[in-house]
Amino acid sequence: MKRIFLLALLVLVAPAALAQRWDEDFAAFAAADKLKPPERGGILFVGSSSIRLWEKLEGQLEMPLLIKRGFGGSQLSDCVEHVQRLVIGYAPKVVVLYAGDNDLAAGRSPEYIRDQFIAFVKEVHQALPETRVAFVSIKPSPSRRIYLDNAREANGLIEAYAKGKKNIEYIDVFTPMLDKKGVPRPELFRADALHLNEAGYELWASIIRPRLLR
């Protein structure tokens, strides 16, 4: 009886807890917007911790009107669910999305990740049809080598979807982050072998910046 009660309580509490999971992050975004209201038509970076931890984003990309809105631990589905306050309210010229890494770790399939990206694009373009959506490929982290093939497949599915479509593009950081043997380059990562270090972000900047200048 006690176990049944606890399970019932968990079912009731879980949705509320999930709904409030990102409240602190979005409260911080709102506070930053109030302190320095971002201009419309900027370049918006959104996604998981690879965006949140990019401390030198503005300096490395050297571009005006950059907005960083990463929330660590998030999945692509979270970006879709919160697209209104994460993207639409900023009315960006370009939105650069990095997500999918955590989806793989949670057991999501490459097809699921592709479908979530499609849903994200549709939500953005329904409100902002001229906004360019750029997907930064899922990175090959040494600590997540078990998901390397799935990451490659998910990236390929999204690249194929984006090919030839207006205002949708795929940016490949996956390939340059592998060595000649096809193994993730450890020198691009922090000690946790998951998050990028400064060299990793410098590589990303060298790949992403030219794509934003098109």
Residue 35 CA to residue 151 CA, distance in Å, equals 38
- Give the tens place of pLDDT for each residue, 53-95: 999 999 999 998 999 999 988 999 999 999 999 999 999 999 9
Task: Please check whether residue 16 lies inside any domain of the structure.
Answer: no
pLDDT at 16: 44
Task: Please check whether residue 48 lies inside any domain of the structure.
Answer: yes
CATH at residue 31: 3.40.50.1110
Query: What number of other Cβ atoms are within 10 A of residue 188's Cβ?
Result: 23
- Give the tens place of pLDDT for each residue, 3-56: 444 444 434 444 444 457 778 998 999 999 999 999 999 999 999 999 999 999
Asked whether residue 205 carries a pLDDT value surpassing 80, the answer given is: yes
pLDDT at 15: 41
Task: Please check whether residue 8 lies inside any domain of the structure.
Answer: no
Q: Which residue has the higher pLDDT, 95 or 213?
A: 95
Question: Strand runs (DSSP E) across 33-127, as ranges?
Answer: 43-47, 66-70, 94-98
Residue 198 CA to residue 13 CA, distance in Å, equals 40
Residue 127 CA to residue 110 CA, distance in Å, equals 27
Number of domains forming the structure of the chain:
1
Task: Please check whether residue 2 lies inside any domain of the structure.
Answer: no
